[in-house]
Structure 1
Amino acid sequence: MTAPKRKTRANGEGTIYQRRDGRWEAAGYVLAADGSRKRVRVYGTTRKNAADRLAEKITDSNRGLPVATADSTVGIYLTYWLGSVAVHRLRENTHTRYATCIRLYLKPGLGTKKLSRLTTRDVRTFLDRLRTTCQCCAQELDAAKHQCCAVDECCDKRLSPLTVTYVHSVLKSALEHAVREDELPRNVARNVKTTAPRPRRFQPLTATEARQLLQAASDDRLHALYELALRTGLRKGELLGLHWEDLDLDSGTASIHRSLQRTRTGGLTTLHTKTRASERRIALPTECINSLKRHRERQEEERNATKVGWKDSGLIFTTPTGGPLDPANMTRRFGRLLDRAGLRRIRFHDLRHSTATLLLEQGVDLVVIKELLGHAHIGVTAGVYAHVRLRLQRQAIDTLNDALGQADDGPADSPATAVVR
């Protein structure tokens, strides 16, 4: 009797076996992020589950897509994650900021560490060093100018707590993907707790200053834009990305579902709004409806005057020839408007904060403000404008104190008839 023929694995199928802990492990060779071929291991609760995961990685490898392995260094893995994973999930400007963060801080600080050997202590030490190290010295920024740190006169230029927190969040996102791909058992960066940076202080416009700004902008060709910004709290990109088809001036509403941004590869590009919650339909104040109608008439006059050179973009707020307005140019234009109005310098984004602050001070419900601004969660709205809520609480307490301190000669309410709500 002949022995049963042993089943052979197909070429490239890899090795699959059951571990002592009951899980199945599959191992095979794939194209690594550094261009070499390395052995990768994946795990599953069943043999088929582990085989499918390995087959997916081998398929990607055969298509020329590199696969990160636990044997890779942190620098190689970050390159793989940025180019093969994050690029498909992030907006282009966000991806550019991630790339800068990885190039300037994460690779120099942790790039040579083995991904599988990265510890919580390594991450904590790296972040502590990032907080205390002068970046001019670390990046030799003054070497070409032969000044400051280059001549042993350290300028002590350190990163802000907000930047350090941002670097930490990028690392956490990258390692979280490694955990999902079974390259790491846990996300060691998530075990490091950093102090939440204090929110950036801003001084929104008062009601008097807001009226002063609108008065100064009354003869500006973009008066309708400033009116919308102050009365609805729209973001700058949302304002510049508005098309005439987004408006219903008869019913007095506007649909917000895109934003104009300048990207590195596409230049001025219309993108989706910041988040899904930012896609919203808002009511337009009567003043905005009137100013938009006047703006449309002016735009028609500019179109007729330009004739051949007019760019029919469909945008509401354009250059005098119909092209999109550059956000950076809009910022400079806004600065000149503040000077004309005799107001202090603020960011254009502070108009949005001014809207929310003024609405809160008028007693508008926080939920309504959240929907108007397009915040994803009401906690964001409550957190940003906590200083206003505290001031309103103080006013409420003072009002109650005044009421309790007044002498009342009339009959007091009896405990049985007093109503408490």
Structure 2
Amino acid sequence: MIKLDVDRVRIKLLKKKSPQTVKHVLNLLTWIINYGTKNGLCPGVAFHIQKPTVNNIKTEDLTQEQLNNLLKTIDADPNKIVGGMMKMALYTGMRRGEMFKLEWTDVNLDSGFIFIRDPKGGIDQKIPINDLARGLLESLPRTSKYVFPGEDGKIRKTTGKAAKRIRKDAELPKDFRPLHGLRHVYASMLASSGNVDMYVLQRLLTHKSPVMTQRYAHLRDEALKAGAGQVDDIFKKQAKEAEEKQKQAKIVNLKP
């Protein structure tokens, strides 16, 4: 294998596939080479495998009207499992793959936590179960060891056409990702509340480092500014009340 061969593969794939997909392919190639070299199955390569730059700092959000419409559409859709996954992403911020693998033994309603095995960050995590998530989990039938089972009760591999249908029926933008987008909505709502600091948000999203969580920092800053702006309103109200009192006093003094 020579560098030119790998470059040709990368360039050819980029014509049809997204940079993220091409990066995954080249990461797999790198892993295979490293494994083969480590186990004496093949020689290593004397060059660096260049991978495309991926811009994954995309933050999706929905207006309150869009969110209300989506929830109504989910309730009306016949696919309750996929609809439940979409609600779970919105209520807990769980990733698509984490929900696919989620088993009922990972859900502890007594302690109020969900155990997430082998998340994207690599280290097992646990996240709290809020009231909305609890109500959703209690409403789901237990027909499989998986909370959101696929065909024949086996582990789910995809949301199929259901998630796209719900997105279309709810009149959401075509580029809105039904599950990952709702994870962003969950994070944006918490950051915008001004009541959740970035460390707590990082833990809830099970981010390995704070770098990914920082994309929501500006939302918290806006909430803090809005909170600080309440002082302006208080002083303006007090000044207006004082002015009204002065006017009333002048009127009283002018009376014969």
TM-score, normalising length from structure 2? 0.66
| Residues 192 and 223 in structure 2, CA contact (< 8 A), matched pair in contact too | no
2:125–2:206: 8 Å Cα contact kept in structure 1?
yes
Which of residues 168, 176, 180 in structure 2 aligns to 1:339? 168
Distance 1:218 1:403, change over 3 A: same
Q: Which runs of 5+ in 1 are unaligned?
A: 1-73, 76-105, 110-125, 140-155, 258-271, 304-312, 410-421
Out of 79, 92, 112, the residue aligned to residue 232 of structure 1 is: 92
Q: Decide which of 250, 253, 256 is 2:116's aligned counterpart.
A: 256
User: Which secondary structure does the structure 1 equivalent of 2:60 belong to?
Assistant: coil
Residue type matched to 1:280 in 2? Q
Question: Structure 1 residues 170 and 333 mapped into 2: Cα distance closer, same or farther (>3 Å)?
Answer: closer
1:317 equivalent to 2:174? Answer no
Say which SS state the counterpart of residue 127 (structure 2) adopts.
strand
| Aligned partner of residue 282 in structure 1, secondary structure | strand
Instruction: Choose the corresponding residue for 2:180, options 323, 339, 349.
Output: 349
- What's the counterpart of residue 213 of structure 2? 381
For 2:27 and 2:150, the matched residues in 1 are separated by: 38
Contact 1:243 1:315 in 2 (8 A): yes
Report the counterpart of residue 108 of structure 1 in structure 2: 5
Aligned-residue offset at 1:225 = 2.5
**Corresponding residue of 1:274:** 120
Matches within 5 A, 1:14-413: 74-75=1-2, 106=3, 108-109=5-6, 135=12, 157=15, 189=48, 197-220=54-77, 221-222=80-81, 223-257=83-117, 272-277=118-123, 279-296=124-141, 299=142, 313-319=144-150, 321-327=152-158, 330-345=159-174, 346-347=176-177, 348-363=179-194, 364-382=196-214, 385=215, 388-393=216-221, 396=224
CA distance in 1 between counterparts of 2:151 and 2:24 reads: 39
One-letter amino acid of the counterpart of residue 228, structure 1: M
Shift of 1:374: 1.3
| Superposition deviation, residue 161 in structure 1 | 6.3
Where 2:110 maps in the other structure, the secondary structure is coil
Give SS of 2:154's match.
Answer: coil
Name the count of aligned residue pairs: 227
Q: What are the Cα deviations for residues 81-105 of structure 1, in whole angstroms up to 9, with x where unaligned? A: xxxxxxxxxxxxxxxxxxxxxxxxx
Q: Give secondary structure in 2 for the equivalent of 1:214.
A: helix
Q: Which amino acid aligns with 1:325?
A: R
Q: Structure 2: which 5+ runs fail to align?
A: 240-256
Deviation at 1:231, TM superposition (A): 0.9
Letter matched to residue 284 of structure 1: I
Shift of 1:273: 3.2
- Give the C-alpha shift of residue 404 in structure 1: 7.4
Would the aligned equivalents of 2:191 and 2:219 in 1 still touch at CA under 8 Å?
no
Greater RCO between the two (CA within 8 Å, min separation 6)?
A: 2
More helix by share: 2
- Larger deviation, residues 373-382 vs 201-210: 201-210
Bigger strand share: 1
Percent of pairs with identical residues:
24
